[in-house]
Amino acid sequence: MADYDASSNRVTLKVVYYGPALSGKTTNVVALHDMLSPQSRGEIMMFETRQDRTLFFDLLPVGFRTRSGMLVKLKLYTVPGQVAHDSTRKAVLSRADGVCFVADSAKSQSVNNAESFENLEANCRRVGLDFERLPLVIQFNKRDLPDPVPEKDLRDRWSAAPWPLHMATALTGQGVQQTFLDLMARSVESVARELDDIGAVAVTADEIRDGFLTLAKGR
Ligand SMILES: Nc1nc2c(ncn2[C@@H]2O[C@H](COP(=O)(O)OP(=O)(O)OP(=O)(O)O)[C@@H](O)[C@H]2O)c(=O)[nH]1
Ligand SMILES: [Mg+2]
């Protein structure tokens, strides 16, 4: 359920970057952070081990006002991908309004990607999120690797799935913004339905998109 505060006309959306260890979740959020103007973004919070592995989560808070005057707060989280940190992953996933699943395009990572995707589905059940209705986008990251799984193979493999696929190289920022805006559009669509149900003025995906792009341009 979206976090809406009528007295201050504020909506808070939580989106989570999920996926196997080292697929590039933190790199995606750092790239988004770098795109935004310093006034609009909060401090990026990162909790990592010395090897740069996410230990608890990363959090990037972003805030802006839409043209209609609603204050939109985005909280972008990443989960730790390492298998051992499952209870942290569950806690971070809880009450998410949308998820970006970041897969690693390396051929050697297919099994890890599949196991992590199954873990996402299982953890959605555990924290009470309806996986079938969860706004979800899939990103295949690290397209710059020398021998990634070809895009055509990925699209064939996922053709029956209802989620959009994005190709990205988070290290250079390529595909990061498109993935994020698609994730936001889907998340906002579902949040807008919830707001409508409680009689609140809904925020639209276009307003979020405009707000984010204005912030990115302000840099
Ligand atoms: N070649 C290449 N390397 C990448 C890309 N994105 C991330 N990496 C590298 O992959 C490694 C892991 O990236 P992270 O963003 O820390 O991965 P993560 O998914 O947050 O990992 P955990 O926190 O352990 O779950 C780092 O060395 C990154 O620089 C990419 O697009 N291309
Ligand atoms: Mg990380």
Question: How do residues 66-123 score in pLDDT, each as one tens digit?
Answer: 877 888 888 999 999 888 899 999 999 999 999 999 999 999 999 999 999 999 999 9
CA atoms within 13 A on the CB side of 21: 12
Cβ(134)–Cβ(15) below 8 Å? no
User: Which amino acid, 163?
Assistant: W
| pLDDT given for residue 40 in this prediction | 66
Q: Quick one: pLDDT at residue 9? A: 86
Decide if pLDDT at 21 tops 80.
yes
DSSP 132: G
Amino acid at site 35: M
Give the number of the atom of ligand 1 that is nearest the alpha carbon of residue 79.
25
- Domain borders along the chain are 3-201
- Report whether pLDDT(4) > 60: yes
Share of the chain above pLDDT 70, in %: 94
> Which amino acid is present at 175?
G
What pLDDT was estimated at residue 197? 74
Homologous superfamily of domain range 3-201: P-loop containing nucleotide triphosphate hydrolases (3.40.50.300)
Decide: 27 in ligand 1 pocket, CB within 6 A: yes
Q: Tokens standing for 49?
A: 């081990």
C-alpha radius of gyration, the chain, whole number: 17
Of 90, 102, 57, the closest CA to residue 75 belongs to 57
Sign of CA dihedral 151, 152, 155, 156: negative
Query: C-alpha angle with apex 133: 83 to 121, nearest 5 degrees?
Result: 20
For CA atoms 31, 32, 34, 35, give the dihedral sign: positive
Which atom of ligand 1 has the smallest separation from the CA of 145?
Answer: 1
Highest mean pLDDT pick, 61-65, 192-196, 208-212: 61-65
Q: For the chain, first and last CA: distance in Å?
A: 32
User: pTM of the prediction?
Assistant: 0.92
The finding on whether 21 has its CB within 6 A of some atom of ligand 1 is yes
In the chain, what is the greatest distance between 2 CA atoms, to the nearest angstrom?
A: 53
Report pLDDT for 28: 96
**Would you place residue 61 in the very low, low, confident or very high pLDDT band (cuts 50, 70, 90)?**
confident
Ligand 1: residue of 16, 17, 26, 58 to mutate (most ligand atoms within 8 A of CB) is 26
- The per-residue pLDDT for 98 is 96
